[in-house]
């Protein structure tokens, strides 16, 4: 049973590594709080058969993105531990930098293949979230989870 748990953890960290590296490559610097939420949404979005929101949405994009967490407290909480472990691994290996709660890609990090690419809607939400403080962002997350 322990081997199965290690395999699951390894797969999750591998998935989140690809997502986080891609997000930082595309969007530059993001806070730990924002990368945690958006990496989860990117992974979740890949397996969603139908999309609730599209890139045509223009108002309250971040709030709409955060609302995709509604009713998923347990699943999101379970994934947060893998995301944090992934961030720790990427920082310790020098793939990303962490400074004042802000993550950025190191110069030598190369992403060969993107497996989990964010939708246009999530991409717009990430860019819009850069205009929000982490405190305001977390208030939105907490109220929706």
Per-residue model confidence as pLDDT tens digits over 133-144: 999 998 888 887
- pLDDT per residue over 97-143, tens digit each? 999 999 999 877 677 778 888 888 899 999 999 999 999 998 888 88
Structural domain boundaries of the chain? 2-144
Average pLDDT, the chain: 88
Confidence category of residue 71, pLDDT binned at 50, 70, 90: confident
For residue 133, give Cα distances in angstroms to 18, 68, 89, 113, 139.
26, 20, 26, 31, 10
**Is the pTM above the cut of 0.85?**
yes
């Amino acid at each position: 049973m322990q081997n199965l748990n290690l395999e699951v953890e390894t797969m999750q960290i591998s998935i989140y590594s690809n997502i986080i590296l891609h997000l930082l490559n595309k969007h530059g610097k993001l806070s730990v709080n924002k990368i945690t939420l958006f990496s989860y949404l990117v992974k979740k979005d890949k397996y969603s058969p139908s999309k609730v929101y599209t890139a045509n949405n223009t108002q309250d994009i971040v709030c709409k993105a955060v609302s995709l967490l509604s009713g998923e407290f347990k699943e999101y909480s379970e994934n947060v531990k893998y995301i944090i472990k992934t961030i720790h691994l990427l920082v310790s290996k020098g793939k990303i930098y962490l400074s004042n709660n802000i993550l950025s890609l190191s110069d030598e990090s190369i992403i060969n293949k993107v497996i989990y690419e964010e939708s246009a809607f999530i991409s717009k939400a990430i860019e819009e979230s850069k205009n929000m403080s982490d405190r305001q962002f977390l208030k939105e997350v907490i109220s929706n989870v």
